[in-house]
Amino acid sequence: MQNVLNLAPECKLTNELEVPVITTPYDLTPDEMLLSQEHYESEVRSYPRRLPIAIKSGRGAIIEDTKGQIYLDCLAGAGALPLGYNHNEINQVLINQINAGVPYQTLDLTTPSKDAFIKAVMQFLPANFAKTARIQFCGPSGADAVEAAIKLAKLYTKRNTMVSFHGAYHGMTNGSLSLTGNLSSKSRRTGLMSDVHFMPFPYNFRCKFGLGGEEGAAQSIRYLESVLCDDESGITKPAAIIVEPIQGEGGVLPAPKKWLQELRRIATEHGILLIFDEIQCGIGRSGDHFAFEESGIEPDVLILSKAIGGSMPMSIILFNEKYDCWNAGEHTGTFRGNQLAMASGAKTLEIIQRDNLAKNAAERGEQLRTALRDIQADFPQIGEVRGRGLMNGIEIVKPGVLNSLGQAEADPALAIAIQRAALELGLIIEKGGRRGAVLRFLPPLIISQTQIEFVATTMAKAIKIAVEAQ
């Protein structure tokens, strides 16, 4: 565990502080900085509405706000901070990079940093996939990489149709939003990418077929395959199927191994490219280097962002060399040459391997899910605990209340109240899923056993406070 070292003297974070010490609930009244943000920043801002704090400093999984209040962060930049805040080695790499005089960005001109990054990525990939892999640098966001993957699939197959899944999240640009399941983000949009079709994603707790488990997942595959084999389905042969091996924003839903294997079979048999979006679930978070590895298959195209830049903006796609049908300059972006991200990204991959952080993610994730299931025994408001590695969630429901489909009624209001109570107790968690009723845990991969114990203890308190206040 990287301890909390070398912060500025005025910062409260010290060597001994692995978890916050809370005596009374934190004051979350907006201070001058938050009021300034509200005044100047667009209404599109989102996180500050649920997490009304201004961050002063951080180390590892711990941050301090401008009021001097200490938090354990289980959001970690939506998964973009795999080593947490201000990892000593990453800081030093960035300092060295600046001192070396390398430009901050170089378009797609190469540098020693870029060469080292590419080789680090190839070494981090499964060996068989790396043998024939080509890397493409995109703009700084994950959505930029999704757009590149869409274009590549359509160029190679000379088809236009795309298949995505219920609950999918692929970004907010025109093409990536078209592939995203969430309807609220689309409600005021017009002119999104055409010929996108959504299929059922395995969701044990809310199975589209009323079955759940392996049988529900099998029916999802059967439905997809029947559509592709039906000359009256109304859906032309797709260029690609895009899927998250673990859905994040959709409610933390790991795809079953068998389901992914069947998806690979179908895509191969029908000549459809299979795209895995591992922007959030990749780079050690699943307990493997990549979430798809558990299933023993490979994608045709792999999309990476967030953690791949080692906390700096970066996105790439990787694909089999046979799909490299681009003409020179056919897909470009000014900031695809971010040298700081390449330096920090290469070092991050090295540290994840050296320190066995994928294994830590698997072990700490299992510790967290076990603790959350113990809490579930006392609170029927937790409908389901699920996840893989350090990508976990709990779905909040109204006990004994069923919706029109005979499924547990979601309780988004209680989820909001629990998130707020947790924040007042020094724990930052995210919210998402159907109706915003899933509480999500995305801590950095360096999180310790003691810190997971704090997460569990704090969640039990927060749920109790929120339930009693109803």
Q: Looking at the domain assignment, is residue 147 inside a domain? A: yes
**In-domain check, residue 139:** yes
The answer to the question of residue 6 being in a domain is no
Which one, of 71, 144, 458, lies nearest residue 316 by Cα? 144
At 97-149, the pLDDT tens digits run 999 999 999 999 999 999 999 999 999 999 999 999 999 999 999 999 999 99
For the stretch 315-343, pLDDT in tens is 999 999 999 999 999 999 999 999 999 99
Domain range enclosing 199: 91-354
249 and 135 in a common domain: yes
Out of 354, 379, 412, a domain closes at: 354
454 pLDDT band, cuts 50/70/90, is very high
The domain that holds 62 is classified in CATH as 3.90.1150.10
Q: Using one digit for the tens of pLDDT, what is the confidence trace for 269-301?
A: 999 999 999 999 999 999 999 999 999 999 999
Contact 276, 243 (CB under 8 A): yes
Tell me how far apart the alpha carbons of residues 92 and 95 are, in angstroms, rounded to a whole number.
5
Residue pLDDT, tens place only, 342-362: 999 999 999 999 999 999 999
Does residue 299 form part of some domain? yes
Sign of CA dihedral 405, 435, 294, 373: negative
Q: Which residues, other chains included, contact 256 with Cβ-Cβ below 8 Å and sequence gap of 6+?
A: 202, 214, 217
Same domain, 244 and 268: yes
Domain boundary pick from 301, 336, 354: 354
Q: Quick one: pLDDT at residue 12?
A: 55
Number of compact structural domains in the chain: 2
Q: Give Cβ neighbours of residue 363 (< 8 Å, ≥ 6 apart).
A: none
